[in-house]
Amino acid sequence: MRSTPAHIICCLWLLGNLSACAVTPICFPSTPTTELELRAHEIGREAEGDQVAGMLDLAESKLKTNPDEALRLTRALGAGLHLNGIALDIEKSAFLLEKAVIVATDASTEIETRIVAIEVLGYTTWSHHAEDLLQLLTEHEPVKIQQAAIDALELLDAGEFVMSIIARWPDMSPQARDHAATVFIAHSERARALLEAIRDGQIKPSDLSPSNVRLLQMSVTPDVRILAKQLLPPS
């Protein structure tokens, strides 16, 4: 735990003055946010160093007594930082991220709690936590876990996202494959890579839902649209 006066003051301020805070609402996939989570998000959005450190201290202090809340606060902070193109600091968040990895990969933990941990990892960096998320892309994992991992990996994308997902395509459940395809189709370069994987035999056309086939064949990007019509059955 860091214990500089600025951090202590910030933590006390967070605990005692939440009602006076102006917060920007944010929605997370898992559960409704609390006032403290909203404040954590606002601190991340403002990206003031001492306040970010203070919130990390506060979250870390809850690891033993309420680890779920600790991860939710970290997720909210990470989401706010992400709006500024900033990742959670790997060193300052070390204990929180260690817990997130444990929870995310623990099959005995409730799915919604695991999803929170997965989302925390999505606010770090590809080099540090992509492998932790990629290992979740297996049909042995619940569909929601696979889908959350795909979404978190997209946030981490450092240019390796599409090829990494395609490499694990055979291991994923049909629902996870369709979710990945939907994520790819939202960006023309990824959609093109998806179609090239189909052309090269890495992905079966039947892996795509009719709605995704239709989106590809109606793409506003000419080469994507043409390739989709060549490779995929009429929608």
Do 90 and 132 reside in the same domain of the chain?
no
What is the C-alpha to C-alpha distance for residues 76 and 45, in angstroms, rounded to an integer? 10
pLDDT beyond 50 at 179: yes
For residue 117, being part of any structural domain is answered with no
pTM of the model: 0.85
Give percent of the chain above pLDDT 90: 84
For residue 65, being part of any structural domain is answered with yes
Q: Give long-range contacts, CB 8 A cutoff, 24+ apart: 199-207.
A: 199/227, 199/231, 202/166, 202/169, 203/166, 203/169, 203/177, 205/231, 205/232, 205/233, 207/169, 207/174, 207/177, 207/178, 207/181
For residue 120, being part of any structural domain is answered with no
- What sections of the chain are H helices per DSSP? 5-16, 35-46, 49-61, 67-82, 94-104, 111-121, 126-134, 143-156, 161-167, 174-185, 188-199, 210-217, 222-231
Domain hosting residue 99, numbered range = 1-105
Do 100 and 130 reside in the same domain of the chain?
no
Do 139 and 97 reside in the same domain of the chain?
no
Average pLDDT, the chain: 88
Do 85 and 1 reside in the same domain of the chain?
yes
Half-sphere exposure of 150 (CA within 13 A, CB side): 27
Domain count, the chain: 2
Do 98 and 139 reside in the same domain of the chain?
no
Condensed to tens digits (0 to 9), the pLDDT of residues 107-163 reads 999 999 999 999 999 999 999 999 999 999 999 999 999 999 999 999 999 899 999
Do 15 and 85 reside in the same domain of the chain?
yes
Confidence of residue 171 (pLDDT cuts 50, 70, 90): very high
For residue 199, give both structure tokens.
């052309």
Q: What is the pLDDT of residue 15?
A: 44
- Picking from 7-11, 153-157, 178-182, 223-227, which range would have the lowest pLDDT averaged per residue? 7-11
pLDDT beyond 80 at 30: no
Q: What is the pLDDT of residue 8?
A: 35
